[in-house]
Amino acid sequence: MIRHFLRDDDLTPAEQSAVLDLAARMKADRFGHQPLAGPRSVAVLFDKQSLRTRFSFDVGIAELGGHPLVVDTQVTHFGRGETLADAGRVLSRYVAAIVLRTHGDDRIAEVATHATVPVVNALTDTYHPCQLLADLLTVRERFGATAGRTLAYVGDAANNMAHSYLLGGATAGMRVRIAGPVGFQPDPEVVARAEKIAAGTGGSVRVVTDPVDAVRGADVVATDTWTSMGQEADGLDRTTPFLPYQVNDALLGHAAADVIVLHCLPAHRGEEITDEVLDGPHSAVFDQAENRLHAQKALLTFLLEASTP
């Protein structure tokens, strides 16, 4: 069986916890784990731009003793000159795993269906599960555990980060609150799935429109861009409806005294988050960015160990 990581809930709560444990160990002993020695190669493919994901996978695969092949798909036949199914089949003959950042989830699902090696979602229009692992690792570092902590995500509640907070946060036993304006609310199917997961982990899920309602007493406040990649010309007003959701000192004043602030980055300073908050004492965003590296090293190690060719 091949284990893919396309959505946050592709890891059970116990598996997610084990990956985070391993990530912490790998962070503490950064060059002491070489499961890709050989070297085994990993393809890291981008249909969209990236800084953190590109570098953290490239560096992480090398640190695991492997050979990273980081490629922008525009210079390949991927998904254009040949089908995604054929590309998945062919790449599986060369590499130990395929990491893909792309648009629709149907695209990564098609690759995973035909690949014979693990496929990892490095961001799609609907999910960003590798980011969530880094975020959860950061929460663990700051609070000791994720279970029972309250996470409030405010802003574009219809985007990939909102959906991953729902699924990944519920899997981690967190109390997940999502606040976004009318018209920018999460997919009800994802909310329902998160509620079901939360029922088994002791977490909870609440979707609201009032940002203060979401942030009140929260341990973690998270936000993301109001305009995700690919939405630049979607014709929607992506500023005015979001103004009350800006993470600033006033909004943060409603959170717990020791709140931490997360942002997957890149940040649009002065839009979804102010300089004061991003650079302030509650911000954990640069630990969060670093943790992409450790979390993804652990994830790749787990998926390769758990898969039988």
Q: Which residues of the shown chain bind ligand NVA in the complex (CB under 6 A)?
A: 123, 159-161, 224-225, 228-229, 264
| Residue 4, number of CB atoms within 10 A of its CB | 21
70, 59, 100: which is closest to 291 by C-alpha?
59
- Annotated catalytic residue, options 16, 131, 185, 246: 131
| Cβ-Cβ contacts under 8 Å for 232 (sequence gap 6 or more) | none
**Is residue 224 annotated as involved in ligand binding?**
yes
Question: Is 34 in the active site?
Answer: no
Question: Is 40 in the active site?
Answer: no
- For ligand CP, the closer CB: 198 or 260: 260
Question: Is 246 in the active site?
Answer: no
| Cβ-Cβ contacts under 8 Å for 83 (sequence gap 6 or more) | 110
Distance, CA of 115 to CA of 91 (rounded, Å): 8
Residue 240 CB, shortest distance to ligand CP, in Å, is 25
- For ligand NVA, the closer CB: 63 or 224: 224
- For ligand NVA, the closer CB: 225 or 301: 225
Question: Is 264 in the active site?
Answer: yes
Distance, CA of 153 to CA of 221 (rounded, Å): 6
Site track 247-276 with ligand CP (rule: CB under 6 A), x = hit = -----------------xxx----------
3-state SS class at 244: helix
Site track 117-136 with ligand CP (rule: CB under 6 A), x = hit = ------x-------x-----
Residue 224 CB, shortest distance to ligand NVA, in Å, is 5
- Annotated catalytic residue, options 125, 292, 294, 296: 292
Cβ burial 133-160 (10 Å sphere, 16+ → b, else e): bbbbbbbbbbeeebbebbbbbbbbbbbb
| Residue 40 interacts with, from ligand NVA, ligand CP, none (CB under 5-8 Å by kind) | none
- For ligand CP, the closer CB: 50 or 150: 50
Question: Is 86 in the active site?
Answer: no
Distance, CA of 84 to CA of 81 (rounded, Å): 9
Question: Is 175 among the residues that bind ligand CP (CB under 6 A)?
Answer: no
- Which tokens go with 175? 């109390």
- Annotated catalytic residue, options 114, 177, 264, 294: 264
Distance, CA of 121 to CA of 208 (rounded, Å): 28
Alpha helices, H only, the chain = 13-28, 52-63, 84-92, 105-114, 129-143, 160-171, 188-201, 211-215, 249-252, 275-278, 285-306
Catalytic (active-site) positions: 101, 128, 131, 224, 264, 292
Binding residues for L-ornithine are: 160, 224, 228-229
Give the interface with ligand CP as residue ranges (CB under 6 A): 50-53, 123, 131, 264-266
Tell me the binding residues: 101, 128-131, 160, 224, 228-229, 264-265, 292
